[in-house]
Structure 1
């Protein structure tokens, strides 16, 4: 049996890879560490973006674990250029998993990318924390349960935590904590 906690990073100053956490985001990272205080964690794997590693650093310190970085957990590239219609394009990409703008990544490709990380860990006993980004997390949730969709992405908080349990190739996911649930 493999268990995972899937975490969307805390509030950040932007979307670029080196965007730092906001002051609120730094407080959220401490709250995440508190949430996991009594939960055994064996491994932490994070997107290599600054906002992702900073989100999980307090937990890594409290559990005396090293943060392993994994580029496959980076946010999905919806467009290579800034777009005023990105919101509509993102909605469309949830409805058509093969949709991709030139040079960008389809929802299907991004889903396969995060699944490759989970598949490589599926036979590992213990609890692994994976830290990623909103779009990638929402695509994974949609893969596990098709009731998750664009509206799921739209309601994700920074941070957000889902519990994923895999038993005999049966996957179950549950939201266990969000910034909204802690006040």
Structure 2
């Protein structure tokens, strides 16, 4: 059995890759380390975006685990051009996984990217892994695990947020554990 914790980053000052955590986000990152106090962790993999790495750094330092950065965990780019209707179009991409906006990445492409890492993790020797990423990518990954997870679930995600994915030989159980 493997346990994979899917963590959405703490509150950040922006969406760009180098966006810092806010003061509140820094407090949340320390709270997240406390949250995991009773949980065994063997490996931590994060999006290389600053806000994701900073989210898990307190836990990594406390456990003396090196944070591995993996570009497969970066946020999904909806469109390469600014869109006033981004919210509606994002909803559309949860209904049509192949929909690809100009300069963007389809949901299916993002799912496949994240799932390639998940496949590697499932074949790995580590049993308790933390993945740190971003709201949309995590929502799509969770949709690929449980098709009932959709756009409205993405809307309910918090910063931070934590889901526990328990993988047995043939089954996967996904449950939100952050409150």
SS in 1 for 2:97: coil
Alignment partners' CA distance in 1, 2:145 and 2:42: 23
TM-score (norm 1): 0.95
1:97–1:106 Cα contact (<8 Å) kept:
yes
5+ residue gaps, structure 1, are: none
**1:123 offset after TM fit, Å?**
2.4
Alignment partners' CA distance in 1, 2:70 and 2:80: 21
5+ residue gaps, structure 2, are: none
Match of 1:161 in 2: 162
Equivalent runs, 1:13-32 vs 2, <5 Å: 13-32=13-32
Match of 2:172 in 1: 171
Compute the RMSD of aligned alpha carbons.
Answer: 0.8
Deviations 1:142-173 (A, max 9, x none): 11112110000000000000000111131110
1:47–1:71 Cα contact (<8 Å) kept:
yes
Alignment partners' CA distance in 2, 1:15 and 1:65: 26
Match of 1:138 in 2: 139
SS in 2 for 1:129: strand
Which portions of structure 1, spanning 4 or more consecutive aligned residues, are displaced by more than 6 angstroms?
A: none
Q: How many residues end up aligned between the 2 structures?
A: 178
SS in 2 for 1:122: helix
1:2–1:123 Cα contact (<8 Å) kept:
no
